[in-house]
Amino acid sequence: MVVQLSHRAGAASGTPESSAVRLWLLFVAALVFAMIVVGGATRLTVSGLSITEWQPLLGAIPPLTEAHWLEAFEKYKAIPQYSILNQGMSLEDFKFIYWWEWSHRFLGRFIGVAFAVPFAFFWITGRLRGAFALKCLGVLALGGMQGAIGWYMVKSGLVERIDVSQYRLALHLLTAFAILALLVWLALEAGPRSDRVRLHTVTRGQYRAATALFLLIFLQSGLGALVAGLKAGLTYNTWPLMDGKVIPDGLLTHQPWYVNFFENVTTVQFDHRMTAYAVVILALVHLWTLVRSADDEHVIRSAALVAACVVLQMIIGIWTLVAGVPLTLGLVHQGGAAIVVAAATLHLNTIRRAAAG
């Protein structure tokens, strides 16, 4: 069965054909990408709990005097992470982790301003209207919610733990990826359109495969967050075997059985590996089917981009695991995940429209 896909005219849907709007959305997407990488650095340097309060406005101002630094340090000393993990650390060492967390939060605030101010300008001047304006407003609201989710995550590590909950970390990272995907999608929708609509044919199976690939990549990103939250990447640092086996022992040792998929280090890393293989296979098979039958080179190119990104991301992931998750490779791997999400969004948008003129 064949589906004919085409885009509706911008005027009919309220979608702008504005290079300024598109550049704004892509710029904010680039900032979100940077935010994801800085968030990875904050996690890998164990800096995320260094600021023990959430002050959406006043928190933008870092400690300015020695007395302020000592006050912030004393607050950090009151949480379990200090007494169990960093007992006796110097003020200079504290400043190092503080600046990572402060930079992460400051970048989040900057992204909010970088989105909200141009949004208001474009809305007032009529460049944003109708459904498209509401979609942009929804992204702004999701960004504000992300700040609250970030604090919700940090709170989980301030009382009884020395790190944050892997569940809340996964929620925080997946929300960031969702914001990135929405920004890329909206930027593509705001792009130029041809006056002449050309219909191309894409099989229903190919369209479903692109959707399934997008969703599987999101699932894999969530599994990666669980790996990070449980520090599962510091175990089983061999490939392709785990503890000398294809299927390692200890996959379902926790009770009830379903918690193994979220709390068992062995199971979480095994699932992340297996899902990576599934993503790569689906991306390559999907590309092959499009090369054989699709008649739009934009669709084929975007599918090839996704396939190349997921293969490279898997190679980087293996390298990071075998090397014991050094900071640089860990950041490259997290940034690579964001690139894969963006590429999958581009491909899904392209195959959905399938009539880019």
**What tens digit of pLDDT does each residue of 91-122 get?**
999 999 999 999 999 999 999 999 999 999 99
pLDDT above 70 (res 265): yes
Q: How many domains does the chain have?
A: 2
Segment 173-232, tens digit of pLDDT:
999 999 999 999 999 999 776 544 445 567 888 899 999 999 999 999 999 999 999 999
Segment 11-49, tens digit of pLDDT:
445 677 789 999 999 999 999 999 999 999 999 999 999
Last residue of a domain, one of 191, 216, 232: 191
Same domain, 156 and 235: no
pLDDT at site 356 = 40
Same domain, 67 and 210: no
pLDDT at site 2 = 46
pLDDT at site 14 = 62
Same domain, 67 and 99: yes
Same domain, 33 and 63: yes
What percent of the chain shows pLDDT beyond 70?
92
Domain containing residue 38: 18-191
Segment 308-320, tens digit of pLDDT:
999 999 999 999 9
Same domain, 176 and 240: no
| Domain assignment present for 60 | yes
Last residue of a domain, one of 166, 191, 216: 191
Average pLDDT estimate for 134-144 = 97
Same domain, 177 and 145: yes
Average pLDDT estimate for 293-307 = 89
pLDDT at site 10 = 47
Same domain, 168 and 274: no
Average pLDDT of the residues of the chain: 91
| Domain assignment present for 106 | yes
Give 277-345 as a DSSP string: HHHHHHHHHHHHHHHHH---HHHHHHHHHHHHHHHHHHHHHHHHHHTT--HHHHHHHHHHHHHHHHHHH
pLDDT at site 311 = 98
pLDDT above 90 (res 143): yes
Q: Are 100 and 47 in contact (CB under 8 A)?
A: yes
| Domain assignment present for 196 | no
| Domain assignment present for 185 | yes
Bond before 326 cis per omega within 30 degrees? no
| Domain assignment present for 197 | no
Last residue of a domain, one of 191, 220, 252: 191
Same domain, 70 and 135: yes
DSSP label at residue 200: E
Same domain, 23 and 8: no
pLDDT at site 296 = 75
Where would I find the H helices in the chain? Answer: 10-13, 19-44, 66-77, 80-85, 91-124, 130-155, 166-189, 204-229, 260-263, 265-293, 297-322, 327-353
Same domain, 241 and 96: no
pLDDT at site 279 = 98
| Domain assignment present for 198 | no
pLDDT above 50 (res 4): no
Same domain, 302 and 274: yes
Which of 158-162, 191-195, 242-246 is predicted least confidently?
A: 191-195
Same domain, 354 and 256: yes
| Domain assignment present for 115 | yes
| Domain assignment present for 317 | yes
